[in-house]
Structure 1
Amino acid sequence: MVSVTQLEGDYRYVNQNQSQGQSKCDEAPLKGFETPLYLMCTSLENDGAHDFFACTEDGGQSLLDSLILSQWEERAWKGQFSYDITSCATKIIEGGLKLTAQLNEKWNSKFFTEFEKKAFQPSGGVIKPCYVKANKEDILFCVASGDRERPLLIPLTGAPQDGVLLIVNENPIEYGHIFLVPYLLHKRMQTLGKALQLIIKIAVEVNSSSLRMFCDFSTTNTEQAYFQASYFANPLPVERLATIPVYVSSLTDGMSIWEVADYPLKVLVFTSKNLKKLVEAIAEICSTLQQRNTVFNLLISDCGTRTFLFPQVHLPVTGRHLHAWECGGYFIYNRISDFDSASEMEISKRLASVSLDVKGFQYLKQLSCSVAAKIA
């Protein structure tokens, strides 16, 4: 287990009354609620390539990475999870896609819907104060932008309005599974672009190739922009596949858009060395999809530099859509018989059943190219 009580090197760990960066962050009106606050040193404002190791020493484990893992492991040691995710069996399914199956007999597929109802206000996407106060043990800490050369950790303070609450998922699908909930001062949800910017900053600052971040957008939770993150020992199946160029900027730090080849679900991949422009483009594209009531998922990998967009068709009969990790080729089975019989054909049918048709995907590619050209 990684210790966070003994922090060495140039990282700063200060008492609340010594904070020089907190004054820039207004406290949100949750009386009596305090949490550790991590102020990031990552900035996406660079016009050129980002220095991804600015917040780590010699490319080693970042402070934020060690904080997340140590706090998550502490909750696991206290027995706050429904099961031990490390004891669940996994296998690579035979076939060219190398899809992954996990056997988890205790996993609750309805947990995320239950979490949304319990944690968020009915409208506005604001997290409920009563949830925060009743689930203090589930909250690891808060992360916010710090605009500093080095990260700053404040042991106990109020959560700033521009921060993200890191909350353990008691029903994890993999090691280190957490919720990342933008803490909102205002009654209306902040724009997707600002939420996505914070999430990308966290991915960069964590600086772990094992970390994957997810977000599921359906037609029923358009106001609840919370994300999830988990650690995977290996890349997800969709990350290993070949890609076809859709849009490539002429600028050296420009954006590129790719289509994943030979996959049952139609997927776009966005990459750029300029993360600020990458976030702007993805946010605008996703906002358009939201306006058209399109279901979609995001998968963020490679320390924030690569984002997968999974559009899905609406299924009014079942009302069920795939999670982002399922779109990426990672499926969970509750029963041993289903786990043993899982096949590439069966999963491919599930992926294909929610995929856009050729016409719809062509529109998405045209939209993405138009937005990328405008921003680049």
Structure 2
Amino acid sequence: MRTALAITVLAATLLAACSPSSSSQQPASAAAAPVVKTVAITQIVEHPALDASRKGIEAGLAEAGFKVGDNLKIDYQNAQGSTATAGQIAKKFAADKPDVIVAISTPSAQPVVATVKDVPVVFNAIIDPVAAKLVPSMEAPSGTNVTGMSDYIPFEPQFELMQKLMPNLKRIGYVYSPGEINSTTMLARMQAYLAPKNIEVLAVAAPRTTDVAAAVRSLNGKVDLLYTSFDNGVVSTYESVYKVATEIKLPLVAADTGTVRRGAMAAYGPDFYDLGVQTGHMVARILKGEQPGTIMPEHPKSGHLVVNPTAAAALGFTLPEAVVKEAKEVVGQP
């Protein structure tokens, strides 16, 4: 009886040792499987500046060790220019609870920050995060679930560029979307800066992208040049801006350097790809354990000058040689 019992115990022991469920037999690859982080990205509309920033974000994450298809999943949603859709995307991300939400542009960031309180949020490409009520200050960490990157470059070097182009500049045209706080904030800053210099700003509202061309045409003969900022409605239809401007010979100066390839004759502003890389590094810090409320919101590290002499000629203007030599980049026909 004792012999039979001993044989039974021995058999059970041998079976347990040979069982595939034994931890010693687990494949090494299963034990080393990477933890996949999810970053949800919402963008108000597709245009070159915002697209470049999004690509930069992915590059910045990769530099920090987070690569798509390896240990990173990106859920990208585009609102196609609709603020209502941007709100729906914010609600979707709130329910999905990714590891981090990145909101590119003010119209996408505002509904995310208003809706999401328990997931880290990083904004990108925002002129004035404080006016947009994303963070209480750009001079200190928020203490909330929000941080991010502004794309604001002071207006002063942009105005200095305009003066180099037109020393006798008196009137600046500005077409903008009245529903975009980034655009209305920029208008207020321009007016406050230029009023003491006796420079007039003639602003024309374009509530929809289909209104932009007519708004540009309405400036015919009334201003010395048209200045375009980071207004998403204007930038998304910049080809129509350029078309009308060439017809009425209205020089175009921009804040968005990407629009120089699409018709602006000169721009001084941030590189949106680099802006995205900075943002990607910030997101990576959060994925590695830092809290967004302890991370200082940031501005672009620098701005640069891009010019397009061919576009200038089509707009009835010749760029001064000194300005062309000063440019970091000279591009051709848009």
What TM-score, normalized by structure 1, do the two folds share?
Answer: 0.24
Greater strand proportion:
1
Larger CA Rg, structure 1 vs 2: 2
TM-score (norm 2): 0.26
